[in-house]
């Protein structure tokens, strides 16, 4: 009876963890709302992004096609009618003469996200209102916009300059898995932040006036939620640090202020916070700060919702927006959207199916070649099983860190599989070579060769992360994940020698070998998943 070593147990643990990261184990039926048009009746009635629609007018919905069929059958009419939408948690009743202003999609069966060239997304062509941008100005605009979108935590973003035949410069933004409405909301605001006392501006967003914005820590985040007018409201706060110049402006402005009649602990003028000309909050200024040159300010705000969860999410979104404009500052130009449309997947589901079929066929071909080479069916199965484990680990890590799989990333998976098969062949060939060395020594020599190849490949791939403006980043990162998992997890497990529980220990009275005694040679090699090959 064999006993599995810790290397094999490590492989089993990592594979199971990868499966848990890939499969959400959510058996909900219906369609998921991925965007709701703000200021619409649907938004006012409580429909929100992330909700799962399970039925409309009592008719169950399991996929997007059923949703579309029901909606199309209900709204050729121009008269207002009652529409009952049931989600997992609530029921919404709308009186409308048009289809709901929402975008829906099928519930994802896995947590694996595909990139722009596989899942599609949204694209916007941006210019500056009333200004003809130079190449340098476009690059500055791209730098600020990219930083702003990255603060929002979006993935697979393409922001690049383009030029028309007349020589006009534009900024092109593409976001995978997004809708035109979501993209328009992200880029439509100028993002001009101002803090005023009375009519005097004290500081603006950006590095010139703000040297630090806290985004984590005990003093940053949502700190209170309360019921308010039939709904809920949540408050947020976070500290910032002002520049010396901004602190001097605040000291100069407050030194002539009096105290508040109602609240004597504060000055009679608040610090008003404006975003794109709209006041978002007013902060009372302590009387101790009168004429004081302080660089530490605490920003606060709130978010409202029909439920506590909605209020919390709204406050979180508002806080993130404020932090973003404080960090990046306002955009250098007022943006104008020249064109906004949806990107159809370039490759689509048919390509994914073709890739799966080709991948399975290539793995089976590798297994056949291994069988013809070594004449052992167990060896072929071991190689195939190890390659499958490596693919699961790559997909699991990608799902865990929400990395989008695009065409370069798929190429990286294929490259990692090829590298893995090569390494396994090295282990097999080394283990069957000269019997002068023990099996353990031969396996060590094979792993040393593999490690050297790994280091060389790793340093060759690292520059690709930044090469070509990041176009090869998906390929480089996916390949690095694959070869790293192979070297540190699957290869050691593949070369592990099973141990037997009933193996008798050597006794002290065992006779020593004589000089003329011929050493016993091992006729079989033990490797991972095999007892005798």
pLDDT digits (tens, 9 = 90+) for 209-256: 888 888 777 778 888 899 877 788 998 888 888 888 888 888 888 888
Which region, left, alpha or beta, applies to residue 30 given φ > 0 means left and ψ of -120 to 50 means alpha?
left
Q: What 3-state class would DSSP assign to 493?
A: helix
C-alpha span between 296 and 215 (Å, rounded): 15
Of residues 522 and 17, more confidence is placed in: 17
Q: What is the pLDDT of residues 337-353, one digit of tens each?
A: 888 877 666 556 667 77
Average pLDDT value for residue range 420-431:
79
The pLDDT of 283-296, averaged and rounded, is 83
pLDDT: which is higher, 56 or 77: 56
Site of tokens 């190689």: 383
Please write down the HEC assignment for all residues of 299-334: EEEEEEECCHHHHHHHHHHHHHHHHHHHHHCCCCCC
Fold classification of 31-106 (topology level): Pdz3 Domain (2.30.42)
Using 50, 70 and 90 to split pLDDT, how confident is the model at 2?
Answer: low
Q: What's residue 219's pLDDT?
A: 74
Instruction: Name the token pair of 433.
Output: 């070579």
Among 21-35, 313-327, 431-445, 492-506, where is mean pLDDT lowest? Answer: 492-506
Q: Where are the domains of the chain?
A: 2-21+352-500, 31-106, 121-189+337-343, 194-313
What pLDDT score does 523 carry? 40
| pTM for the predicted model, two decimal places | 0.57
Is 469's pLDDT higher than 50?
no
**What does the mean pLDDT of the chain come to?**
78
Could you report the per-residue pLDDT of 193-212, keeping only the tens digit for each? 788 888 888 888 777 788 88
Between 439 and 314, residue with greater pLDDT: 314
Q: Report the pLDDT value the prediction gives residue 212, as an integer from 0 to 100.
A: 86
pLDDT at residue 353, rounded to an integer = 76
Q: How confident is the model at residue 424 (pLDDT cuts 50, 70, 90)?
A: confident
Q: Residue 136, SS3?
A: helix
Q: What is the mean pLDDT of residues 58-71?
A: 86
Contact 100, 83 (CB under 8 A): yes
What is the average pLDDT across 268-276? 81
Q: pLDDT band for 522, please (50, 70, 90 cuts).
A: very low
CATH of domain 2-21+352-500: 1.20.1640.10
The per-type count for the chain, helices as H runs and strands as E runs, is 14, 22
Q: Average pLDDT of 37-66?
A: 82
State yes or no: pLDDT of 170 exceeds 60: yes
Q: Give the separation between CA 215 and CA 41, rounded to whole angstroms.
A: 34
Q: Taking the domain 121-189+337-343, which CATH number applies? A: 3.30.70.3400
Q: What is the separation of C-alpha 118 from the centre of its chain, rounded to a whole number of angstroms?
A: 16
Q: How far apart are CA 131 and CA 342, in angstroms?
A: 26
* Per-residue pLDDT at 17 exceeds 70: yes
Least confident of 129-133, 437-441, 494-498: 494-498
Task: Burial-class residue 466 by CB neighbours within 10 Å (0-12, 13-18, 19+).
Answer: exposed
């Amino acid at each position: 009876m064999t006993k599995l070593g810790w290397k094999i147990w490590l492989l089993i643990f990592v594979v199971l963890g990868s499966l848990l990261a890939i499969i959400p184990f959510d058996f909900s039926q219906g369609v998921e709302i991925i965007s709701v048009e703000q200021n619409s009746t649907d938004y006012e009635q409580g429909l929100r992004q992330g909700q799962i629609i399970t039925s409309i007018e009592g008719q169950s919905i399991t996929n997007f096609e059923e949703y579309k069929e029901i909606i199309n059958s209900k709204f050729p009419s121009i008269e207002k009618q009652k529409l009952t939408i049931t989600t997992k948690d609530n029921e919404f009743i709308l009186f409308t003469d048009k289809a709901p202003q929402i975008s829906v999609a099928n519930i994802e069966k896995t947590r694996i996200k595909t990139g722009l060239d596989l899942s599609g997304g949204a694209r916007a062509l941006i210019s500056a209102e009333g200004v003809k941008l130079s190449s340098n100005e476009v690059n500055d605009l791209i730098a600020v916009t990219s930083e702003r979108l990255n603060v929002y935590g979006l993935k697979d973003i393409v922001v690049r300059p383009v030029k028309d035949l007349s020589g006009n410069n534009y900024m092109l933004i593409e976001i995978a898995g997004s809708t035109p409405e979501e993209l328009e909301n992200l880029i439509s605001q100028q993002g001009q932040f101002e803090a005023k006392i009375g009519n005097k501006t004290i500081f603006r967003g950006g590095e010139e006036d703000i040297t630090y914005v806290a985004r984590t820590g005990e003093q940053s985040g949502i700190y209170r939620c309360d019921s308010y007018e039939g709904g809920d409201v949540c408050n947020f706060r976070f500290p910032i640090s002002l520049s010396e110049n901004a602190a001097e402006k605040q000291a100069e402005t407050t030194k002539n202020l009096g105290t508040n009649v109602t609240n004597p602990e504060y000055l009679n003028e608040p610090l008003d916070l404006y975003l794109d000309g709209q006041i978002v909050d007013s902060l009372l200024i302590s009387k101790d700060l009168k004429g004081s040159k302080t660089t530490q300010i605490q920003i606060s705000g709130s978010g409202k919702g029909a439920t506590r969860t909605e209020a919390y999410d709204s406050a979180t979104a508002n806080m993130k927006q404020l932090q973003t404009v404080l960090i990046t500052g306002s955009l250098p130009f007022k943006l104008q959207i020249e064109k906004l449309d949806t990107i159809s997947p370039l490759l689509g589901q048919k390509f994914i199916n073709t890739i799966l079929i080709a991948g399975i066929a290539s793995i089976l071909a590798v297994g056949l070649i291994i069988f013809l080479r070594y004449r052992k069916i167990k060896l072929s199965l071991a190689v195939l099983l190890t390659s499958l484990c490596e693919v699961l680990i790559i997909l699991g890590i990608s799902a865990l860190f929400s990395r989008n799989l695009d065409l370069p990333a798929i190429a990286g998976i294929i490259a990692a599989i090829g590298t893995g098969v090569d390494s396994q062949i090295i282990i097999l060939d080394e283990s069957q070579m000269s019997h002068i060395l023990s099996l353990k020594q031969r396996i060590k020599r094979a792993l040393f060769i593999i490690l050297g190849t790994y280091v060389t490949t790793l340093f060759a791939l690292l520059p690709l992360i930044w090469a070509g403006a990041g176009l090869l980043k998906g390929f480089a990162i996916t390949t690095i994940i694959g070869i790293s998992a192979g070297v540190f997890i699957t290869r050691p497990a593949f070369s592990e020698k099973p141990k037997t529980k009933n193996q008798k220990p050597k006794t002290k009275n065992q006779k020593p070998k004589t000089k003329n005694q011929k050493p016993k040679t091992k006729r079989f090699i033990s490797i991972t998943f095999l007892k005798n090959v």
